[in-house]
Structure 1
Amino acid sequence: MTSHSSNSLDVAHFMQNLRFTRYHMTILLMCSLVTFFDGQDFAALAYALPYIRDDLGMSDEMTGYVSSAAFLGQMIGSLFGSYLGDMFGRRPVIIFCTIASAVMTLAVGFSASIEQLIVLRFISGLAIGGLLAPVWALSIESMPKSMRATSVTIIMMGFSIGSASSGPIANFAAPVLGWQGIFWVCGAMTGAFALILLFTLPESLRWMVATEKPRERIAPMLMRFNPNFDAQPYDRFTLSDERKVKDSRNPLVKISELFAGRLALVTLFIWAAYFCSSFSIYLKSAYGVIFMENLGLTRENAAWLGSSTAIIGAVVGVLLLAMTEKRGPGWIALAPLLAIPFVALVATGMVTDGPLFVPVLLIGAVLVGAGHSAVISVTSIYYPSAVRATGGGWASFMAKFAAVAAPIYGSQFLVGADGAMAGYMFTVLCLSGVVLFVFLLAWSAKHLRALSD
């Protein structure tokens, strides 16, 4: 089970030979709950937006700026969170960002003007964006080799389910507390979870080894993964399946590690695929309810449909990764490829007046969500542990350009059924980009080993 060299332990070999244990399940559950409440706070605006527009009388242009404020915060937060996650560890960054997300989501509910709403959503976006790369890294670094990409999809299923939960919260809270109550309920739930997180979230064992943390911190973690393991004989720990990266606090040095050798192409194609996927998913997230309203659904039914497709899409994404993880990243193009004809049927108006309208909407949205989950799963797996959060953070940063642009660009699609159909047609173009860049990623990563066998 272990590899010895004097008093040295190969932690990579130790972890690769572990079965999936209760401790793995605990880590996976905690990471999934982190993203659940992160998604809930993030999506609160999408379900509150129709009520806010009525209450504050926002123009379509201003609606785009309000939606983009959180995305801009996420974009900046992803860089800071990923850098700090590689410097100080996954655990402190995740906990701090969860607490900050709870506080700022509550604060959004006290906004008295559109300007305050924009500022507070931007600040909350910093926290929401800051924890994703560290939580991806913690999951990848803790799971057995056969579950690394799938684990990311599972924890992002937490994000999707959390996002979906904002729909029912909006339907129940808004009639009683107004749109403000949606943010109060979501923020309070996240705050309660943050207190639990303080006592339950572990640090990444791989990160501690990669950054040469003291034996006193590493040895107890080994025994958490395997209570029967005796760590006493070992005072040095290594990772044989990762190259050593430059030890520097300079963020530019860490970024340069993302382009070492063949990683240069891998990184660029990850960014491109994630950008296209994010444009489609955030256009849906920001305006999906409004699009469906404009095509004839009631606001309440649109909210329920949006919630259900987010959950089902996340589940389908997990199933897709579970079946294809060992076959390479090219298989994750399957979901967006299948989504294209269904979204196109809505975009061309071929099903909007018939009984197939809702089923086609449902299937298309599910496949869009599944594809996005699958793309996210590969954003961090190719990088060494010492810069893994940086890799995920920069992928997220590039994707957030699309997230910022989607509500602003998408505001032109808010008028009537024709506008909504144009929005769906643009989604078809985004999905085509996802398919192209995923295939290019699969080609460029063919001979690259993120983590050795």
Structure 2
Amino acid sequence: MSLDPSTLRLPGFVDERRVSRFQYAVISLCGLVMFLDGFDTQAISYMAPHIAKEWGLPTAVLGPIFSSALVGLMIGYLVLSPLSDRFGHKRVIVVAVAGFAVCTLAAVWSAGVTELVVLRFLTGLGLGAAAPSCVAMTGEFSPKRLRATFVLAIYCGFSLGFVVAGLVAGWLIPVHGWRSVFWVGAIAPLVLLPLLLRFLPESPVFMLRRGQDPQRVHRIFRRIDPTLAPTAAPRFDVAGEDSGKRAALSSLFTRDRVLGTALLWFVFAINLAEFYALQSWLPTILQGLDYDMSVVVTTTTLTTVGGIAAAFITGPAMDRIGAYRALGVFYLAGAVFVAATGIAFGAPLWVLMIANFLAGCAISGGQKSLIALAAVFYPASMRSTGVGWALGIGRIGGILGPIIIGAALSAEWSAGAVFYAMAVPVLAAGLAVLLLDRRYGGRAAERAHEPATAEA
């Protein structure tokens, strides 16, 4: 049955129009939240050696400090992020940002390991709840032709947060101590909160699903397209949202999808284990090799810059030669880069920096591309469930990675041996993605996963 021409359709309304300044503002606010997420996640890596020195802690104790926020992230992804369906993306983002700001502020006065671990866990809960809602909000306000680009852009905001964390730590810690970085990590989200409350809209799909005033939704549409005429009784249609419910978790394990889901979870766990192990321990490894703080910050930052640079290569490659094949080959090359970093610890500094940049391309860039791969694999009806659970399960790797590397260093493994060992899981990830390509790859298969109606 055809709809009245005056009915406003989602996502068609967004897909058929040029991106407005209002949409750019929404996406930018989501990017700022992701930036703060990245800053808070990485800053602890630069503070940890100074915390250990001040409190007289052995190296192995740093592992739980690194991983406590990652446990919170995992629970936030799996348990708290679905609350956006009940309360709205905006509310979840605002409450989550306020929560991790307060917990970071409380960490300024932490006086022991237990207290700090608990606060980092609570901070991780807020970070884990905010990120999926930001991705969902970005997707809803992005036209289909640019959706992947905009989601990738806000994830680059996450990586930029890693970079800035290093710069801020290198500037503040030598002069004001490690607690000064917590001050910055708390004040920045508190400053952002009024902007989120004032300028971030609620999800139109959520508002329609909850039967809220149609005029409020229509006003959001008019901010996207100012030429839209006001109406006393606006009507809307949301494609693919009839049930108003998320795809069930069991839908990820149907007969044609169970292998793909299992392989994706495996690769997510590997990539996040590598990512957080690298970001958590590289500053400590470099300081142990007697590099000064400026070199530590620069070298660690290059791994994140590499991830951002890789996004400009992997995105077009995934579009042109196929998402699975491009990422599989990228991981195989990444295994070589990670192993080369182990060799580079005995080489001149400029060689070590180049090696860290390339390792960052593989690990940090691979993570962004892997999220895009999951979005290709799962159809729109279950995309948020599929990607969210892949990220959540992947956090198990993120939790274990820093702990395993900490144990290896405590067992007096050399820096080179650690990176040789880290190259093996990257190789396994590449082979797993190529197996995905064999089973699900090719443009025809990718199109087959797309629903008949566009995603809201």
Q: Return the TM-score normalized by structure 2.
A: 0.88
Q: 1:247 to 1:374 in 2, by over 3 A?
A: closer
**Which residue in the other structure is 2:82 paired with?**
83
**Which residue in the other structure is 2:394 paired with?**
399
1:360-385 CA-partner distances (Å, limit 9, x unpaired): 22222233211112112344566677
**Which residue in the other structure is 1:317 paired with?**
311
- The one-letter amino acid of 2:400's match is A
SS in 1 for 2:22: helix
How much does 1:285 deviate? 1.5
Paired residues of 2:42 and 2:162 also in contact (CA < 8 A): yes
**Which residue in the other structure is 2:217 paired with?**
218
Is the aligned partner of 1:431 residue 2:430? no
Q: 1:151 to 1:268 in 2, by over 3 A?
A: farther
How much does 1:422 deviate? 2.7
Paired residues of 1:336 and 1:367 also in contact (CA < 8 A): yes
Q: Distance in 1 between matches of 2:207 and 2:378?
A: 15
Is the aligned partner of 1:61 residue 2:63? no
Q: 1:416 to 1:264 in 2, by over 3 A?
A: closer
How much does 1:346 deviate? 2.5
Q: Percent identity?
A: 26
Is the aligned partner of 1:359 residue 2:359? no
What number of residue pairs does the alignment pair up? 445
- Choose from 276, 301, 304 the match for 1:282: 276
Paired residues of 1:136 and 1:392 also in contact (CA < 8 A): no
Q: Distance in 2 between matches of 1:236 and 1:84?
A: 27
Is the aligned partner of 1:15 residue 2:14? yes
- The one-letter amino acid of 1:309's match is T
Q: Distance in 2 between matches of 1:134 and 1:387?
A: 15
Q: Distance in 2 between matches of 1:327 and 1:14?
A: 30
- The one-letter amino acid of 2:104's match is T
5 Å-filtered alignment, 1:138-217, equals 138-209=137-208, 213-217=212-216
Worse-matched range after superposition: 266-275 or 203-212: 203-212
SS in 1 for 2:414: helix
**Which residue in the other structure is 1:300 paired with?**
294
SS in 2 for 1:10: strand
- The one-letter amino acid of 1:375's match is L
Q: Distance in 2 between matches of 1:452 and 1:265?
A: 25
Q: For structure 2, list consecutive stretches of 5 or more residues without a partner in the other structure.
A: none
How much does 1:9 deviate? 3.4
- The one-letter amino acid of 1:137's match is A
SS in 2 for 1:125: helix
- The one-letter amino acid of 1:448's match is H
Q: 1:148 to 1:322 in 2, by over 3 A?
A: farther
Q: Distance in 1 between matches of 2:17 and 2:35?
A: 27
Q: Return the TM-score normalized by structure 1.
A: 0.88
RMSD, matched Cα: 2.9
Q: Distance in 2 between matches of 1:416 and 1:81?
A: 37
Q: Distance in 1 between matches of 2:92 and 2:381?
A: 15
How much does 1:216 deviate? 2.9
How much does 1:117 deviate? 1.0
Q: Distance in 2 between matches of 1:291 and 1:363?
A: 18
SS in 1 for 2:236: strand
1:212-238 CA-partner distances (Å, limit 9, x unpaired): 655233222222221112363874422
- The one-letter amino acid of 1:61's match is A
Q: 1:93 to 1:418 in 2, by over 3 A?
A: same
Q: Distance in 2 between matches of 1:384 and 1:218?
A: 26
**Which residue in the other structure is 1:36 paired with?**
35
How much does 1:100 deviate? 0.9
Q: Distance in 2 between matches of 1:300 and 1:417?
A: 25
Q: Distance in 1 between matches of 2:368 and 2:29?
A: 18
Paired residues of 2:376 and 2:449 also in contact (CA < 8 A): no
Is the aligned partner of 1:448 residue 2:453? no
Paired residues of 2:305 and 2:357 also in contact (CA < 8 A): no
**Which residue in the other structure is 1:133 paired with?**
132
How much does 1:173 deviate? 1.6
Worse-matched range after superposition: 419-428 or 265-274: 265-274
Paired residues of 1:133 and 1:390 also in contact (CA < 8 A): no
- The one-letter amino acid of 1:365's match is G
How much does 1:32 deviate? 0.8
